[in-house]
Structure formats: structure tokens, C-alpha cells
Amino acid sequence: MSKNPDGKQIKVGILGATGTVGQRFITLLAEHPWFTIHALGASSRSAGKPYVQAVNWKQTMPIPSIVREMIVQECRSQHFVDCAIIFSGLDADAASEIESAFRSSDLAVFSNAKNYRRDPSVPLIVPLVNDSHLSIVPQQQALHDPPLKKGFIVTNANCSTTGYVIPLRALEKAFGPIESCLVTTMQAISGAGYPGVPSLDIIDNIVPYIGGEEEKMEWETLKILGGITDGDDGRKTFDMHARHPLRVSASCNRVPVIDGHTMCVSVRFQRRPPPSPQQVREALVAYTPEAQSIGCPSVPVHAIFVHEEPDRPQPRLDRYYQDGAGVSVGRVRQCPVLDIKFVVLANNVSIGAATSSIINAELAVLKGVVKVE
Amino acid sequence: MSKNPDGKQIKVGILGATGTVGQRFITLLAEHPWFTIHALGASSRSAGKPYVQAVNWKQTMPIPSIVREMIVQECRSQHFVDCAIIFSGLDADAASEIESAFRSSDLAVFSNAKNYRRDPSVPLIVPLVNDSHLSIVPQQQALHDPPLKKGFIVTNANCSTTGYVIPLRALEKAFGPIESCLVTTMQAISGAGYPGVPSLDIIDNIVPYIGGEEEKMEWETLKILGGITDGDDGRKTFDMHARHPLRVSASCNRVPVIDGHTMCVSVRFQRRPPPSPQQVREALVAYTPEAQSIGCPSVPVHAIFVHEEPDRPQPRLDRYYQDGAGVSVGRVRQCPVLDIKFVVLANNVSIGAATSSIINAELAVLKGVVKVE
Amino acid sequence: MSKNPDGKQIKVGILGATGTVGQRFITLLAEHPWFTIHALGASSRSAGKPYVQAVNWKQTMPIPSIVREMIVQECRSQHFVDCAIIFSGLDADAASEIESAFRSSDLAVFSNAKNYRRDPSVPLIVPLVNDSHLSIVPQQQALHDPPLKKGFIVTNANCSTTGYVIPLRALEKAFGPIESCLVTTMQAISGAGYPGVPSLDIIDNIVPYIGGEEEKMEWETLKILGGITDGDDGRKTFDMHARHPLRVSASCNRVPVIDGHTMCVSVRFQRRPPPSPQQVREALVAYTPEAQSIGCPSVPVHAIFVHEEPDRPQPRLDRYYQDGAGVSVGRVRQCPVLDIKFVVLANNVSIGAATSSIINAELAVLKGVVKVE
Amino acid sequence: MSKNPDGKQIKVGILGATGTVGQRFITLLAEHPWFTIHALGASSRSAGKPYVQAVNWKQTMPIPSIVREMIVQECRSQHFVDCAIIFSGLDADAASEIESAFRSSDLAVFSNAKNYRRDPSVPLIVPLVNDSHLSIVPQQQALHDPPLKKGFIVTNANCSTTGYVIPLRALEKAFGPIESCLVTTMQAISGAGYPGVPSLDIIDNIVPYIGGEEEKMEWETLKILGGITDGDDGRKTFDMHARHPLRVSASCNRVPVIDGHTMCVSVRFQRRPPPSPQQVREALVAYTPEAQSIGCPSVPVHAIFVHEEPDRPQPRLDRYYQDGAGVSVGRVRQCPVLDIKFVVLANNVSIGAATSSIINAELAVLKGVVKVE
């Protein structure tokens, strides 16, 4: 079992613990080598009940024994003061207020909610891509009145964005800026939470629209793949990939798949001539994000697994590989309109959600951004 | 009931009558105002049996009474000499030889098979798009030794190609040449015939690959949307859209939908500035193919139905509209990478298959290409 | 087109017009030979809007033009006074109060809701089974204070009950009382309304439980298949099949099927020896309910269609036969534990819901229970 | 890690290694504490190739490294002489001849095929039910000419039979003979192998028929739950539950579920009064088959897991519990027609297939029926 820098168990809390993302946090954290689940937060309807009574458990493994009888708290910071890390699986309608209050109470929040992703002082981190953006946390803390010592908010990206920016980052690292990217998604129903998509809408059907999703993908990609600019005043700013403008066009579809977002991606590089399909395959295989090299325990062995079979990746067969912590890429080939096209599969409930938050927290611990006492 | 030019019932034969496409031909032709099913052809295994015993009927309506007890024949032209029109739903492994033999016997064959689509003297006709290509039929007849009087082969396109070239044609008619087109398909299982896709491969899954499909879409689009060039020697040649080169990039996926191919399409026009989304919507609504204006009985009222709701078209709700003889388009909007993007839905078993062959035959009757005695 | 006794168009209103059942009433009544949609009722949220704006239309055909711009009303009787018949597709939480109020306003209500099914003066009618129970309506009217002249409530049965009591009734008619019946259902998701069953609960899954459904089937069967007893005081009572006690055991399952409830049924007759499978098949084919003989326009030609193929009925292939107004039975064979077993398929959104209400109303018109002015 | 009696690795071979059941054997045996995969057999088409090239791998985990490059053999006994145990996942059309030939070569065959299940000298063993039937093996060996020392065939049951006889056995053990049993199955598509059920037949559908399945369930149940009678001549005979005749009625349906057969079961006991639902629940929980008590490494902790929630078991949530080696039971309640009814879920590809063969082999090792050198 890997050791964190201080060799201690780190207490963590989970907000939205009875929801879909909260349940995933619990299944992942119950086995975590560093983190120990210490507190669970949910709505006042659940507060005061043992977890087993509060939750409508929908995972394929039983409720971990460590949380079964744990009493659910309301999402107030006084119940979580002993937690070095807070994981938030809150719904968007609750996340703004609660996450802000927790930060103000000097708690470190790793959020899966969308609310603060566009905040200019909050990093939007896909852990296999842009953990360097953690460098903006001190500025976020300094902006608070009074300045915070330990509290901050780090967000992770939309489940669709997460999956495809990992290969895009690998390609930019190897071949320089991407100029344009056209992506069509086929997204799993679990991405909509529970109860989420009515069965009458999706069995034997495709819904070629997911509200707000295309805008999220097009915007988040720029923040994640862009860098951070140091201003003359010492202020750091997300540059939104502005030095090499990147145009992204997303078409998002809901499909009758339980877990795993499949995406058809075409890219055009600035570099002329562009890399060949074989060069692209090699660059994807070779990609090693910092989270791997510094030893985050939840990172997969293969950040990007490249399939050679012509008909892979497929969600049902490939989504659970490496516990869904990496992404699968296949069908790398030339695109007659842009340069290169390929298929990406990302497990939306793992690397697309809770797993990303957890690796982000691991990165923050290893880099000293989270202060472990 | 509409009348054909001569006001007579026209006898037709169906090859591959027991297969998936053959069953569709039968359901459509049983109610046809001009055409009367006169002969059914299938493999030697079925020959000699009443149709009801030869077929594994998979349609949601009962077997039409007119064919129930009709004796199935082998696919030899002598059994079909009384038929003015032959519809072929043959599999690719049988179509080359049989369709050629029928043509040599001076029979007019309208084929749903892929075998002759690339033949330089055989028109590849999507009836709502390029019926003008029927003009090459006399050349095809003349090339035969001895020259044919009535026999020829006309093919219709792949089910995916058919659906999206209809709006592309409408756009080229209104705004001039399209320069590039990127299309990602989500194709129904019925497109693979029966038994076709194993359920273990597609329930809760996406297969991001359909063998040969992307090449078909990329090539067929050029033949269909291109024109016919008259050479100095009087020979007609398909120009493959060469005067205004068109680049097509297709990514084809199989999805767990029974009927109806959904496609996300992005296009770039030569014209600068390109048309606005609203202009595109209007052009699609206004599109009136010749098959409508000259009165083919099987054409839909709306060649292209444009949805205004943000989440349509959807295969389960929209595929049977107008008996699947038109296409649905929705979500017309700007594409940040190319110019315009939209969603197309086409019923692959109707306009994408048998319905196209039937309208092609209606066009050929009205234009005198089929000689009705 | 068939004629009602008075040859007049009969004005009808629809309560719950924007819901799932309401949408079905509209699609069926838009083409009805006798009934004309005159008023639409829904919640106050929808009231005042044109129907097209109030509804989230989920049918595979477009909204009928007759109701598209019709203004939706609140469900108050003053808006429906011109309607000779009220069809109710109200949810259970609204039906008790509103249906009662409409009856008190002397309106004839044909309800699809469960609320009054157990009322001792309200008939629970499956139109192909026990229309004779309409005879209790005068007693229901007399019980009201003041007595009603035209107002009453007639209910139809649960969608599962409806399907299987039709063959049970045919068997009792031919062979005398059934002693016990064991039925296992595989019920379509549309039976739960919209949004209904979350897709995460049913794709690649079975839910072996539907709240209250087994009790409904076990109880409703007795009321429907039982007779009406005339008491010494002239009061009519539903006898609940008490003269020949009938034990029913139902096991209800939700399955990933859109429309069509499939049921495996085993029965034991009182008669020894029991009828043979062939006798049962013949009795099912021969069954002719009164609704057919007196000319209800919405009854199917075959009340019970008996399949000979070993693997039928199947919901996807057989549910739309006769517009779902009859039921399909197949696999009639001996049961090693009881006497006979077979499979029933009933379209839960047609004969299992709106179609039953409509035929009930047709019966009531033909029998003079509804007074048409 | 548990130890076998001799503490040695036991070499095993797999027949039909490239098929669906063969792939399951490989994934299970790759991690087995006693058994080491030593040889792989398949058709002559695959023979001579490394496994990775011969197989169309369809499991959600990658091919285990131990077999990846192993050369596939033809199914001839000379290639398997070093194997103490042969697991057969052969198709029925190949199993008769090959399994017989292997037995004649004095090899111990544990077969998943149906071919020898009805053989009066071959035991049909569900490992959590009737391992006592191994006692007939010496008789089987003696019948061979010349008599066998080590060779024999042991079969396991049909996937549907296996699941429901486990609770039936628990009930007979606690409450004495069951008199009649009515079972309706909802069976997963993986039960039909690959390619198996065409997707066009099962998406949005139920097929209320599986060829031969009902007969298998009705017959196999008697052999498994019955005992062995010692004749006057010393010959052992399967008594087919004849001392307490048991009537079984099965109705088998195919449903759109990938893995996991769900069954609705009603039983009537001989004992009057019958046990209460609570007594039944307790008996199911308490059931401890011999395979658990003697320490087979592949048995689950809970042979029968009893759910208290009203809507469980469900295949998608519960099929992988304990790696599918036990069964789940829920909804134990009174049956108005027979005595008690409940729902069983069994993972057809685990306890319903390969897992049963493996536990049977473990039992045979522990009981000395397999001779390990």
C-alpha cells in the first residue's frame, strides 16, 4: 500500500453522500490507502439517520461496512471540522452555497459540481491533464476576506470533457497546439444521475441533446488545456488556450448505455504536416501524466489505453478496465476533413466524476496544497 | 389513388423476398397504387414453398394476404418474364450474378444491394436527390452485347448515405457547393439485417465500427451529389463532385436502436459568408425534389421535416412519420469549426432501403425509362 | 363509418389531457366515428394555454390538428357541461375529488384511474368481458343525493388485469368456473406513466416488484369475473365470484419493454376432466364478447388472437395488431401442476387503458346508459 | 489460500476453450488456488494458434496472461493426458463424442454440456445441492469396458435449473418434500451463448419460449432433488424424487438482460400446515451445503442470500454479488394458490455454468473421486 507523505490516515468528509456521485465516493474511498471516511453530509431529510437508512443504494457492491451505520449529518461545516479534505457530490442547486460556506470555514473542498468551474480563481482540474493549475490555489485563498490558510475549492470537469481532454493533452504535448476539434458524444444515462433519464425516453432511442452540455465541453476544454498567465500585477489568469486559439465543436447525444461515454473526435493540428495515425498512437501510449510519476495511488497504469482491434473501445467491454480510472482510445485514423480522427471511451462515473476528485485530492496532498496535520 | 401514366397495374417481382429487405418490399408493395406483386424469388431452400412457409416473418403487421400462399420461385429470370419491374433485396453475395442475369434477360432491376453501386454505367439514385442520373440508363443498355431494350440495373444508396445526402442536396441547391462535411452516425441494428447484430454485442453498448460503412458513405456521397459529364465521344461519366471537390469524413457507430439512423452532421460551404442557421432551416423546409413535383405516389409530403424542439429528431418518436419516407432534421445551429451543424434522422428500413427502390421505380415509370406495355 | 344510435356527433371531454393516458385518449378520439373532442382538462399549470404549448407530446404521431390550438381548461365541471361523456386519464392523487365532482354535476365519467374501482356501486368494466355490470349504474345514480339523471362513474381495470381476464372469461364461458389461477407478469415501462421508471432501474434489468399491482390483479379479477347479485331489498351487489371461489396468485415484474404486458398464466378448472389444450384454443378463438355483437366501433375483429407459432406472442411484434384493441394468446399447453398454461400479451396503453374506456363509453351509448341528446 | 488435500497444483484442461463457457472457465481458473490451466482444446479451425489469436474474447477483463500465448489444441485426449481434470464447455453437437472419448482415455470430465445429463450412470450435480450423487461414479467406471480407474463424466445442470433447485433443496431439507412447483423464468441473453439471440429479437421485447428449456427444467429438477436407490443387485439408480412425487411446471422466457436469470417460483409442500414465509426465510438463510462445510475454495459465503427489500433481487444490481457463485432470493410471501412464492436470481454464467463445474471438481478432489497424483 502506497504511503502519503506523512504516513498518516487522512480524514475525509463526503457531501451529497446519499446521491449517485456520493455513493461512488463511498465505494472508492472505503478502500483508499490514505483517506478514511469520517463524516457524511446530506440533506436535512437524511440527517440524523444511519447511512443505510438514508440511502437508496444503487451500486453493484453492498454498502461498505464502515459507513453502514454512520450517522448522516446536515451539510454544515461544524460537523466536518476534523476533515482535512471534503469531497462534494452535491447537486448544482445546493453546491454554490454549501461549498462556499465550507471554504469559508477553511476546509479544502474537491467538488464534482459545476458551480465554480468558471470561477476565475478556482482551478478546473482533470487530474491526468492539468494538475499544474493547482498553483492558483494560494491566490484563491488570498482573495478571501480574511485570507484562508487551508480552505479552497478545486473542481473537476464535466464527465464528457474529462474523457476527451486526456488524449487531446497527450497530442498537444507531443505535437504542439491543436487548432480545431470536432467531437460527437454518445453519453451514458448514468451521467444524468438518478432518477435521471426516464426509461421511456431512451430505450430503443437516442436523444440528440443534453442541456448545456455542448457549451460546457466547448468552454471547459479551453480552461483545462490552456495555461496560466502571470500578470504584471502578480495576478494569475487562466489563458483559455488564447495564445493558440482552439475552436471546439461538440455535439452531445444521450444513448441507452448504462456507464461509459463514447466519443468520436476529429482534430486538426497547427503543425503542417500533421502527425500520422501511427505517430498519434505512439504519443497516446507514451503519455505519462504527472499524477502517475509522483505516485498518486488512484491513477491507472495506463492513462490512455490504445486498442488495436478495429471495433474497440466499446463501453460494455472496456469501461471497467483499470476500474475506469484511465481512458480507452481506438480507431486512430486519418480524417479526410481535419487531420486525425479516433474514438475515446471514458467511464463517466469513475474518471469522469468521483475518481477525478479523489486523484485531485491525492495530487493536492503530494504537492502540499492540502495541509495534513 | 394516383394513376400511373398508362393507368394500368404494373406487375413486379421481388428477389430475396424472404429476407429483411424483401419483407419490407412486400409490406410496401401490397398497398401500392400502381404495382402488383406478381412473383417472389428466393434461394433454392425456399423455392417451391408457399411464402408463408418459406419466410420467418418479422414485421409488425401480418403477412399480406396477396403473397401468403404465393409460391416462391428460384431467382431465375424465366420465372419473372411477365414483370415490368424487379425489386432486388438480395444479399451481396448473391446479387452480382443474379442481378446481372436478370438485366441480360432484358428485365429492369431496382436493387438495394451494394454490388453495382460503383459501376460507371449504373446510376446510384437517392430518389429525393439525383433522379436526373437515370439519364445514364440508355448508355448502360447500349453497352450490353447485344444492346438491351428494357433491361438495366438502378441501385439505391447505403442506408446511412441516403439519409444525410437529402439535406446536403437541399443545401447545395440553395447555397452552392459544400466544401467539407463531417458526419458521425448512430445506426440502428436493423441496418445489419437478420440475424445481424448479436444482442450480446449491443445491449448496454455502442460498437464504434461498421465494416466498410465509412468508405461507402464517403464515396457514395460524391457519386450522388455529383453530376454527369458528357464527354467529347458522347459518353456520359459521373463527375464525383469533382468540379467543386467535396471532402467527406464519416464515423459510423452501431447503437441499440431498432429502426432509424441518427446522424450528427457538420458542413462547410464554399460560399463566404456561409448561410445562417435560419437560412439553412428555411432552405431545408423549402426543398422540393422532382419526385414530389412529378407525382410519385410514394414520396412524402415533406421531403425534409425540420423540427424546432431542441431535442428532436429522436428515432423512437420520429422514424415512422410519413411512413419513414422523408427525413427529419433538427438542431440546426452554427458549428464553431465548420459552418453549420445539425442532426438528421432517416428511417433506414424505409427511405434508407425499400422505399427508395420503389420511388426510383416510380420515377423510372413516369420518365419512361421503364417501358410499361 | 359506423353510426351511433342517434347518428349524431357526441361531444366528449378529456381530463388529464396532457398526461400519458390523456395523450392516448386524444390520438384515439381524434379519429373516432362518434365522439368529438370538445374540451380538454389539465392542472392549473396548463390551464389557459393552447394544448400544443401545455403538453410534452410523446406519441409517435404528431398532435392531431383538432386539439393543437384548443385551450386547456382547469378540471372544473362548468367547462365540460356540453360534454355527453368525460374520459378521465387523471392521476390517482387528483382523480377522487375531480371525478366525484364531475359526477355530482351529472356528467358521465369513464375513468382510467384506480380510485373508484373498489367502490361497491361503481362498475369495474373490461369491455370485452363484463359490460353487463353497467346494470349497476342506475343504483349508483339513485344513491346520490339528489339522485342523478345522467351522471355516473364507470372505471376500467388495471392494465395487467385487463389483459388476462379476457381469456379467463372466454374459458369460464366455455368450460365453467376456474378454480385457481397463477399469473406471472412481465410489464412494460409505459404502464408506469411518464417519467415513470428511471432508465437506470430497467436497462439490462428486471424489477420483480410493482407496488400494489399484485393486490390489484388478485382483487380486480374477482370483481370483473364475478356476477351481480340481486338482494332481497332490491340492492345489487358484486358477488366477487363467491359462488365458485377463485384463488388468484399474481407475481408482477417490470421489464425493459416499451409497450405490451406479457403474462404467463396457469389455470385449474373446477370441471374434471379439464378441457384439452386444443379445446382451450378453440374456445379462445370462438370467444365473441357482446361489444362485438352489438357493434362498438372500437372493438377489434379478434377479441382474442390465438398464435400457433411456438414463440409468440411477442410484445414488439404483436402489440400493435388491431391497434392493440384485442389480446394475443399463445403457447396453450398442459400445465403439470394446474391444468392448462398459456401466454397472454395485452397492449397496456390500448386495451389496457384508453381503448377500454372508449369501448366502455361506446357500450354505454349503445345500451342507453349514456343519454345522448 | 486454501489448500487441496495434497497441497499440489492440479493441472486442468479446458475443452471448447474459445467459446463463451470456455472463456468463463479461463477467467475463473486463472485465479484458482488449486487448479492450473495446462491445456486448451478447441475446433480444428483454432488448433495450432496461440489463444489470443484463436479467440474472439468477450469478457470485461483482459485475457489472462497465462493463456494468452498458449497454443490451442484439437480436442483429442492425447493432448490432455497430463490433466487430472478436464472442464468441458463444448457445444452440444460436439460434446457427445469428445467427452466420451476423453472418458475412455481415463480422463475425469466435468461437463457443462447437456448431452450426458440424462445418462443413468452420470451424475447431474448442482454443487450446492446434490454432491452426494458423486457416489455413482464408481458404477459409471465399472460399466466401461475395460473398467476405468480415473475416467468419468460429471455434468452440471442447465443454468435455469441450477438457480432454483438451490432454494428448493434448502426448503426440502427444512420442511420435507415439496409436492408441486410452478416456476416462470426471465432468462438472460448470455444463456444462449454467442452469437446467440439476435438483437432484433430481444431489444424492447420478450420471447416467451426457449426451445427445450421447460422440459429440461422439469426433468432435471427431479434427478437433482431425488435420491439414489440401491437395488437388490447392488446397482444404484436415480430415484427421480419418486417416493414423494414432485410435479414441476416451468414457463421459460428470454428477456433483454445480459447476465442473470430471474425466476418467480411458487411451491406447495406436503407438510400441512405449510411453513410460514418467515420460517421459509430463516431456512433459506440457514442453508449450508456440504460444499461449504468441507471447504471448496470457490463456494460463496452465502449459498442463498435473502433480500429483505421489497424490490430485490434484481439482475443488474445483484448478479455479481459473491462473483455470482451463490443465489439471491427475495419477496418470500404466501401464495394464494400454492403455499409460498418467492423470487430467485442466479447468475447463469457463474453458478449457472462454469462455477458449478469448478465446484463440482473441487468436491470430487476433496472426496477422492478425482485421483490427484
pLDDT, tens only, A40-82: 999 999 999 999 999 999 998 889 999 999 999 999 999 999 9
| Nearest in space to C36 (alpha carbons), one of C67, C74, C59 | C67
- For residue D313, give how far its alpha carbon lies from the nearest alpha carbon of chain B (Å): 20
> Looking at the annotation, which residues of A are catalytic?
159, 261
How many Å apart are CA C195 and CA C198, to the nearest integer?
Answer: 7
Closest by Cβ to A203, choosing from D59, D60, D204: D204
Residue C320: its chain B contacts at CB < 8 A? 60
Q: Are residues D73 and D212 in the same domain?
A: no
Determine the pLDDT at residue C2: 57
Determine the pLDDT at residue D371: 83
Q: Is the pLDDT of residue A4 over 60?
A: yes
Chain A residue with CA closest to B189: the answer is A204
Residue C247: its chain D contacts at CB < 8 A? 336-337
Peptide bond into A273 cis (omega under 30): yes
Domain assignment of residue C373, yes or no: no
Q: CB–CB of D200 and B198 under 8 A?
A: no
How many Å apart are CA D98 and CA D88, to the nearest integer?
Answer: 9
Domain assignment of residue B1, yes or no: no
Pairing of strands B327-334, B236-238: unpaired
B36 and chain C: CB distance < 8 Å anywhere? Answer: no
DSSP state of D80: G
| Nearest in space to C90 (alpha carbons), one of C67, C70, C114 | C114
What is the CATH number for C340? 3.30.360.10
CA A26 to chain centre: 16
Q: CB–CB of B264 and A314 under 8 A?
A: no
CB D75 within 8 A of CB D118: no
Here the cell at position A38 is: 469520517
Tell me the average pLDDT across A216-220: 97
Domain tally, chain D: 2
| C175: Cβ contacts below 8 Å, ≥ 6 apart | C269, C271, C274, C275, C279, C280, C283
Closest by Cβ to C314, choosing from D182, D206, D266: D206
Q: CB–CB of C316 and B203 under 8 A?
A: no
SS3 D5: coil
Residue B65: its chain C contacts at CB < 8 A? none
Residue D59: its chain A contacts at CB < 8 A? 317
User: What value, to the nearest 5°, has the Cα angle with vertex A360 and ends A357 and A365?
Assistant: 130
CA D330 to chain centre: 21
How many Å apart are CA C267 and CA C168, to the nearest integer?
Answer: 9
How many Å apart are CA B213 and CA D70, to the nearest integer?
Answer: 35
Side-chain-facing half-sphere of B332: CA atoms under 13 Å: 21
Mutate to test the interface with C, among B27, B55, B60 (most CBs of C within 10 A): B60
**Cβ of A9: how many Cβ atoms within 10 Å?**
15
Residue B209: its chain A contacts at CB < 8 A? 310-311, 331
Q: Is the pLDDT of residue B373 over 80?
A: no
Closest by Cβ to C320, choosing from B58, B60, B316: B60
Q: Are residues C22 and C44 in the same domain?
A: yes
- For residue B319, give how far its alpha carbon lies from the nearest alpha carbon of chain C (Å): 8
With contact defined as 3+ CB pairs under 8 Å, the chains touching A are B, C, D
How many Å apart are CA C184 and CA D184, to the nearest integer?
Answer: 7
Chain B residue with CA closest to D204: the answer is B258
What is the CATH number for B16? 3.40.50.720
Q: Are residues B297 and B177 in the same domain?
A: yes
DSSP state of B353: I
3-state helix, strand, coil in chain A (%, to 5): 35, 25, 45
Residue D258: its chain A contacts at CB < 8 A? 316
For residue D360, is it left (φ>0), alpha (ψ between -120 and 50) or beta?
A: alpha
| B11-43 burial code (b ≥16 CB/10 A, e <16) | bbbbbbbbbbbbbbbbbbbbebebbebbbbbbb
How many Å apart are CA B268 and CA B246, to the nearest integer?
Answer: 10
DSSP of C225-242: HS-EEEPTTS-EEE-TTT
Tell me the average pLDDT across D39-52: 96
**D residues 71-110 near C, CB within 8 Å?**
none
Evaluate if pTM is beyond 0.90.
yes
Measured CA distances, B161 to A253, A335, B166, D23, D300 (Å): 20, 18, 9, 38, 53
Determine the pLDDT at residue B351: 94
Average pLDDT across chain A, whole number: 96
Q: Are residues C322 and C203 in the same domain?
A: yes
Q: Are residues C339 and C190 in the same domain?
A: yes
Q: Are residues C306 and C359 in the same domain?
A: no
| Nearest in space to C333 (alpha carbons), one of D242, D252, B57 | D252
Measured CA distances, C10 to B76, C4, D85 (Å): 58, 9, 78
How many Å apart are CA B187 and CA B253, to the nearest integer?
Answer: 6
Q: Are residues B94 and B175 in the same domain?
A: no
Indicate the helix (H) or strand (E) that contains D317: helix D315-318
- For residue C50, give how far its alpha carbon lies from the nearest alpha carbon of chain B (Å): 17
Strand stretches in D20-102, DSSP E: 35-42, 73-74, 85-88
- For residue B154, give how far its alpha carbon lies from the nearest alpha carbon of chain D (Å): 29
B208 and chain A: CB distance < 8 Å anywhere? Answer: yes
Domain assignment of residue C2, yes or no: no
**pLDDT tens digits, one per residue of C149-187:** 999 999 999 999 999 999 999 999 999 999 999 999 999
Domain extent for D171: 159-346
What's the order of all strands across the beta sheet hosting A10-15?
A73-74, A35-42, A10-15, A85-88, A108-111, A152-155
> Looking at the annotation, which residues of D are catalytic?
159, 261
B72 pLDDT tier (thresholds 50, 70, 90)? very high
Tell me the average pLDDT across C100-105: 98
User: What value, to the nearest 5°, has the Cα angle with vertex D99 and ends D96 and D102?
Assistant: 145
| Nearest in space to A63 (alpha carbons), one of A53, A75, A72, A73 | A53
**B residues 111-150 near A, CB within 8 Å?**
none
A342 pLDDT tier (thresholds 50, 70, 90)? very high
Domain assignment of residue D267, yes or no: yes
Determine the pLDDT at residue B289: 96
CB B177 within 8 A of CB B244: yes
Average pLDDT across chain C, whole number: 96
How many Å apart are CA C111 and CA B6, to the nearest integer?
Answer: 54
Mutate to test the interface with B, among D199, D207, D259 (most CBs of B within 10 A): D199
B1 pLDDT tier (thresholds 50, 70, 90)? very low
Q: Are residues D51 and D184 in the same domain?
A: no
Q: Is the pLDDT of residue A131 over 80?
A: yes
| Nearest in space to C108 (alpha carbons), one of C126, C123, C119 | C123
Domain assignment of residue D125, yes or no: yes
Q: CB–CB of A208 and B314 under 8 A?
A: yes
Q: Are residues C326 and C253 in the same domain?
A: yes
B329 pLDDT tier (thresholds 50, 70, 90)? very high
Chain D residue with CA closest to A60: the answer is D317
Closest by Cβ to C258, choosing from D186, D204, D262: D204
Peptide bond into C273 cis (omega under 30): yes
Q: CB–CB of C199 and A256 under 8 A?
A: yes
Q: Are residues D220 and D272 in the same domain?
A: yes
| A181: Cβ contacts below 8 Å, ≥ 6 apart | A168, A221, A246, A247, A248, A249, A265, A266, A267, A268, A338, B337
Residue A201: its chain C contacts at CB < 8 A? 195, 199
**A residues 277-316 near D, CB within 8 Å?**
316
Q: Are residues B267 and B235 in the same domain?
A: yes
- For residue A314, give how far its alpha carbon lies from the nearest alpha carbon of chain D (Å): 10
Domain assignment of residue A342, yes or no: yes
Here the cell at position D234 is: 447392488
Q: CB–CB of A258 and C204 under 8 A?
A: yes
- For residue D51, give how far its alpha carbon lies from the nearest alpha carbon of chain A (Å): 16
% pLDDT > 70, chain D: 98
Domain assignment of residue D238, yes or no: yes
Which amino acid type is present at position C22? G
Tell me the average pLDDT across B223-237: 94
Q: CB–CB of B60 and C317 under 8 A?
A: yes
Measured CA distances, D231 to B301, D154, D224 (Å): 81, 22, 19
Residue D58: its chain B contacts at CB < 8 A? 200
D60 and chain B: CB distance < 8 Å anywhere? Answer: no
User: What value, to the nearest 5°, has the Cα angle with vertex B297 and ends B291 and B299?
Assistant: 50
Determine the pLDDT at residue C326: 97
Determine the pLDDT at residue B164: 96
Q: What are phi and psi of B184, to 5 degrees?
A: -115, 125
D203 and chain B: CB distance < 8 Å anywhere? Answer: yes
User: What value, to the nearest 5°, has the Cα angle with vertex C277 and ends C274 and C278?
Assistant: 115
- For residue B316, give how far its alpha carbon lies from the nearest alpha carbon of chain C (Å): 7
Q: Are residues A186 and A251 in the same domain?
A: yes
Domain assignment of residue A193, yes or no: yes
| C273: Cβ contacts below 8 Å, ≥ 6 apart | none
